[in-house]
Amino acid sequence: MKDDGASIIIIGTELTEGIIQDSHAKFLTSYLTQLYYHVNEIVTVADDNSIEEILSKLVKHNRLIIITGGLGPTSDDMTRSSIAEVSGVVLERDQESWDRLYKRVGERIHGANEKQTYFPQGFTPIVNPRGTADGFYGYADKALIIALPGPPREAHPLFESEVIPLLRKLNNIKEEKREEYSTFLIPESRLEEATLEADNSLNWGTRFQDFKISLFLSGGTEVKRRAAIEKLRALVGKQLIQEGDTDAFSSLEDLLLEQKATIGTAESCTSGLLGKLLTDKAGASNYYKGGIISYSAEVKINVLKVSPKTVEEFGVISCECAKEMAEGALNVLSTDYAISITGVAGPDKSEDKEVGTLCFGFASKLYPTVTVKLQFMSISRDAIRRRACVAACILMKEYIQSKGIVDIESSWSYI
């Protein structure tokens, strides 16, 4: 136990009963390690447990304690009162927090919710725009205690936007100029190798996310960092690294909105997943009109008007079929652009084509149709379908931006 270290208390019965997998520990410890904290202990306890004993012990041996959970209206509220107890103060109402909650829940505030506007005296609320429970921070002895709401989708953005700047300031860690990129389809191990190959004198960091890996770059001069990114792009494929915190879908959607253009889809192996992903956000009707899920050959032929001869000659997993699917979708759906996907999601081969073989078509009224064939590494059916949707959107963006040209370099071979 290092006396200037940090410890974490995670509260949640669903964690002590094995119902869900914790996602706070890795997230928090990874950041704390970057901020030069030695993490002494992570203690996970049930909602009905008292954390007072644990907390009083930890404040003696740590300069930072982060607590997640136990701030809800129906919980036993042990976090709030235990922190007050250990800090030797009372709970008092914060008017601004009360006003915010009233705006959110109205008269329902006069119930269990009201507790959520009380904080240990002298502690500062951390405004939570994603839920009813604000976080808060303050001192017990020399230990800084930071309480955050339990749901990761509320706690993690708060930690990134509010807690990290606070800890930086307290520890006098200057905000290093750090650029963020979003990378797609490249496996983490290959990405890490390639960053070192691009420039091993800079500081690279990666974070695996749902449909992408975030890439962080700091150190050196701006010129040096820019050169490193260009080299990295050349190594792994220029379309697979995009500036800023974005994803393959938003990136295409923004371009469509900018152009006031509409899109449609023709999906075989992804069977609707691309249509679903392109409409995850409200307002999707401004660019997405609809799609044809042509899972069977009949639907390809009858609805998308793919020629039976094409199917017979080249099979449904072919660039020839992808071309006619995309053109069929453009026509049937009357959109400005259309994407088609046909391939082998596995687990078995199809038409003697390997699992992970994917053919894409990109069509518009302005430019000739382009097709692309890719071979994904044989991973799970689910991963192949997700990766196919990511690739489709990245390539469609390229098709639109380059006015009908899609330039896949050999470097894409790392996908």
Please identify which residue in 198, 274, 363, 395 interacts with a copy of itself, judged by CB under 8 A. 274
- Which SS3 state, helix, strand or coil, does residue 42 take? strand
Please identify which residue in 161, 171, 221, 334 interacts with a copy of itself, judged by CB under 8 A. 334
Nearer CB in complex with a copy of itself: 232/333:
333
Question: Interface with a copy of itself includes 22 (CB under 8 A)?
Answer: yes
Measure the N-to-C terminal CA separation of the chain; round to a whole number of Å.
43
- Integer Cα distance of 27 and 98 in angstroms: 30
Please identify which residue in 38, 238, 305, 373 interacts with a copy of itself, judged by CB under 8 A. 38
Question: Interface with a copy of itself includes 331 (CB under 8 A)?
Answer: no
Question: Interface with a copy of itself includes 347 (CB under 8 A)?
Answer: yes
Please identify which residue in 103, 222, 260, 282 interacts with a copy of itself, judged by CB under 8 A. 282
- Which SS3 state, helix, strand or coil, does residue 10 take? strand
Q: How many residues belong to the chain?
A: 415
Q: Which two tokens stand for residue 145?
A: 């205690």
Question: Interface with a copy of itself includes 94 (CB under 8 A)?
Answer: no
Please identify which residue in 56, 218, 279, 378 interacts with a copy of itself, judged by CB under 8 A. 279
Question: Interface with a copy of itself includes 271 (CB under 8 A)?
Answer: yes
157-196 binders of a copy of itself (CB under 8 A): none
Please identify which residue in 108, 224, 276, 373 interacts with a copy of itself, judged by CB under 8 A. 276
- Which SS3 state, helix, strand or coil, does residue 40 take? strand
41-70 binders of a copy of itself (CB under 8 A): 41-46, 49-50, 53-54
- Torsion angle (degrees, nearest 10) of CA 314, 315, 316, 317: -80
Please identify which residue in 95, 107, 200, 208 interacts with a copy of itself, judged by CB under 8 A. 208
Question: Interface with a copy of itself includes 222 (CB under 8 A)?
Answer: no
Question: Interface with a copy of itself includes 358 (CB under 8 A)?
Answer: no
Question: Interface with a copy of itself includes 105 (CB under 8 A)?
Answer: no
Q: Do residues 341 and 269 touch, judged by C-beta distance below 8 A?
A: yes
Q: Do residues 349 and 333 touch, judged by C-beta distance below 8 A?
A: no
Q: What is the crossing angle of helices 381-401 and 248-259, to 10°?
A: 30
Q: What is the nearest approach in angstroms of a copy of itself to the Cβ of residue 80? A: 19
- Integer Cα distance of 277 and 265 in angstroms: 11
Nearer CB in complex with a copy of itself: 135/291:
291
Question: Interface with a copy of itself includes 393 (CB under 8 A)?
Answer: no
* Cα 222-224-230 angle, rounded to 5 deg: 105
Q: Do residues 341 and 267 touch, judged by C-beta distance below 8 A?
A: yes
Q: Do residues 361 and 337 touch, judged by C-beta distance below 8 A?
A: no
Q: Which two tokens stand for residue 381?
A: 């059916």
Of the listed pieces 88-96, 191-199, 277-285, 370-378, which binds a copy of itself according to CB under 8 A?
277-285
**Phi-psi bin for 215: left (phi > 0), alpha (psi -120 to 50), beta?**
beta
Q: What is the nearest approach in angstroms of a copy of itself to the Cβ of residue 183? A: 15
Q: Using the 8-state DSSP alphabet, how is residue 408 labeled?
A: -
- Integer Cα distance of 54 and 43 in angstroms: 8
Nearer CB in complex with a copy of itself: 223/282:
282
Question: Interface with a copy of itself includes 40 (CB under 8 A)?
Answer: yes
Of the listed pieces 179-187, 217-225, 227-235, 345-353, which binds a copy of itself according to CB under 8 A?
345-353
Instruction: Give the contact letters, 287-326, x = binds to a copy of itself (CB under 8 A), - = no.
Output: -xxxxxxxxx-xx--xx-----------------------
Question: Interface with a copy of itself includes 3 (CB under 8 A)?
Answer: no
Question: Interface with a copy of itself includes 26 (CB under 8 A)?
Answer: yes
Q: Do residues 321 and 266 touch, judged by C-beta distance below 8 A?
A: no
Residues in binding contact with a copy of itself, number by CB under 8 A: 73
C-alpha distances (whole Å) from 120 to each of 23, 78, 158, 188 are 27, 12, 19, 43
